Amino acid sequence: MAVSVREVGRVEINETGQQTASFEIAHPVYSKLRSPLILGHKSYADVTRDICQLLDPKPGRGWWISFSVSLVLLVIGVVAAVHTVTTGIGTWGLNKTVGWAFGITNFVFWIGIGHAGTFISAILFLFNQKWRTSVNRSAEAMTLIAVMCAGLFPIIHMGRPWLFYWVLPYPNTRGTLWVNFRSPLLWDFFAISTYFTISAVFWYLGLVPDLATARDRTKSKLRQTLYRAMSLGWNGSNRTWSRYETVYTVLAALATPLVLSVHSIVSFDFATSLIPGWHSTIFPPYFVAGAVFSGFAMVMTLMILVRKLMHLEDYITAQHLENMCKVALLTGSIVGLAYVTEIFIGVYSGNPNEIFVIINRGLGPYAWAYWIMFSCNALVPQLFWFKKLRTSIPAIFTLSILINVGMWFERFVIIVTSLHRDFLPSSWAMYTPTITEVGLLVGSFGLFFTAFLIFLRLFPVISINEVKGVLGYAKH
């Protein structure tokens, strides 16, 4: 129903003294050929009611069960983290040869998950993809939580996490000894903290009008206080909307290169080293595509659960899931292409160390991990060519979980198989995670789901104002 007005005439005064003005109302982007994005012929009031009423009742049994399970996982993670910090990094399965393994695998995995949220909220916004409106709020929340989960791993790996602020370039009593700006690990710190900050303000800005809607509707005193404070006196004025949209677009334009930079910089952690299997110019685009791929898999997993459990089938429709499958198909194919390119370039380089890494990945002691990765990431998404699978919820759910598993293994394979058999055969070693490391991984999932479940209870899970804007998507 979004229309634009073009003035075609000035005001005229006719014989009876009445003023008339003529306008041409154009409907530039909407077409009869489109199918509606939101099902069920909703009115504006229906949208407000449907989304806001999810916040009102006391959480049901399903929520409490999921919350308790997540909390237990989180506690396991806390125990593992305390054990790591009080005893030392020796509690991990790392050794002299494999000095980086589980922690950084989880770090890269979670950062990657976050990328889909920004892709949906910023890149699809710039491309005017209206279907993003139903999923962007929860996808962005997922981004924020995933980045938090990711950030914990390097901090815990520091061994003395309370000194983590030493990576900041601040005047200190050690000289002033500055940080090393030539290190990709420092770039990581800047990239991830910027990414988190910008994602957080972007998400919050999108929330403000919806918090105002929730504020004007809720009966609960506590919630009203919270929403009143957080909605910053939003009253829907057009001047405010105009500036709001300007800044929203600016943030989207900033977040787009930002999200590409974040995983590029994460890939520099590896690519700028001299380790065969890491030292590769393909890494930045390969990592970014993989990140968006894994992130979309996680968004699909979460959205399928959310739409089912919160009865949002009219808002998150089969069409939304199908679109996400298409993005996963595209990015999955890029990832598959990158795998094949890596093999080809490795062999074609003629460098014995490169060739050895390729053979060792596919046929060495970690071949099982490599083939899990290859089949889940390069082959499984190809099933999305079939419309039957793209539109079947159980199929999408299963495939998305397989992709999540595959993408976790991708990072494990890249990191561990490149390290464990290095240039000196006498120092070759195997790596097995200890129970503490597994505990940390489990704990990060606990943190992720705990925080996501709190988000579902506290904030409108779908962007109310944006959905209202696309209600007329196919009407005209």
- Type of residue at 60: G
Scanning 67-75, 144-152, 253-261, 306-314 for contacts with other proteins by CB under 8 A, the matching segment is 253-261
* Residue 209: CB atoms within 10 Å: 22
Smallest separation, CB 218 to other proteins (Å): 12
CA 272/CA 428 separation, integer angstroms: 22
**Using CB under 8 A as the criterion, what x/- string covers residues 316-345 for binding other proteins?**
------------------------------
Interaction between residue 180 and other proteins (CB under 8 A): yes
* Residue 280: CB atoms within 10 Å: 21
Interaction between residue 40 and other proteins (CB under 8 A): no
CA 189/CA 199 separation, integer angstroms: 15
Scanning 89-97, 247-255, 282-290, 294-302 for contacts with other proteins by CB under 8 A, the matching segment is 247-255
Is the Cβ–Cβ distance between 381 and 333 less than 8 Å? yes
Interaction between residue 374 and other proteins (CB under 8 A): no
Q: Which of residues 186-205 bind other proteins (CB under 8 A)?
A: 186-187, 190-191, 194, 197-198, 201-202, 205
Interaction between residue 219 and other proteins (CB under 8 A): no
User: Which of 325, 338, 329 is closest to 381 using CA atoms?
Assistant: 329
Question: Looking at 80, 120, 207, 258, which residue binds other proteins (CB under 8 A)?
Answer: 258
Interaction between residue 173 and other proteins (CB under 8 A): no
Cβ distance to other proteins smaller for residue 270 or 374: 270
Interaction between residue 466 and other proteins (CB under 8 A): yes
User: Which of 405, 409, 457, 460 is closest to 433 using CA atoms?
Assistant: 409
User: Which of 293, 295, 319 is closest to 307 using CA atoms?
Assistant: 319
Interaction between residue 2 and other proteins (CB under 8 A): yes
Please classify residue 244 by burial: count the beta carbons closer than 10 Å to its beta carbon, then call 0-12 exposed, 13-18 middle and 19+ buried.
Answer: middle
Cβ distance to other proteins smaller for residue 95 or 240: 240
Q: How far apart are the first and last CA of the chain?
A: 8
Cβ distance to other proteins smaller for residue 243 or 308: 243
Smallest separation, CB 281 to other proteins (Å): 15
Interaction between residue 128 and other proteins (CB under 8 A): no
Q: Which of residues 142-171 bind other proteins (CB under 8 A)?
A: 169
Scanning 33-41, 119-127, 244-252, 448-456 for contacts with other proteins by CB under 8 A, the matching segment is 244-252
Kindly state the tokens that stand for 53: 């009423």
Interaction between residue 250 and other proteins (CB under 8 A): yes
Question: Looking at 99, 257, 348, 382, which residue binds other proteins (CB under 8 A)?
Answer: 257
Cβ distance to other proteins smaller for residue 21 or 429: 21
Smallest separation, CB 254 to other proteins (Å): 5
3-class SS string, 440-466: HHHHHHHHHHHHHHHHHHHCCCCCHHH
Q: What is the DSSP string of 324-339?
A: HHHHHHHHHHHHHHHH
Cβ distance to other proteins smaller for residue 268 or 384: 268
Smallest separation, CB 370 to other proteins (Å): 30
Is the Cβ–Cβ distance between 140 and 120 less than 8 Å? yes
Question: Looking at 16, 235, 281, 426, which residue binds other proteins (CB under 8 A)?
Answer: 235
- Type of residue at 119: F
Interaction between residue 208 and other proteins (CB under 8 A): yes
CA 324/CA 275 separation, integer angstroms: 35
DSSP class of residue 102? H
Is the Cβ–Cβ distance between 346 and 357 less than 8 Å? yes
**Using CB under 8 A as the criterion, what x/- string covers residues 47-86 for binding other proteins?**
-x--------------------------------------
Give the count of residues interacting with other proteins (CB under 8 A): 76
Interaction between residue 223 and other proteins (CB under 8 A): no
Angle at 303 between CA 451 and CA 440, to 5 degrees: 40
* Residues ≥6 apart with Cβ < 8 Å to 273: 279
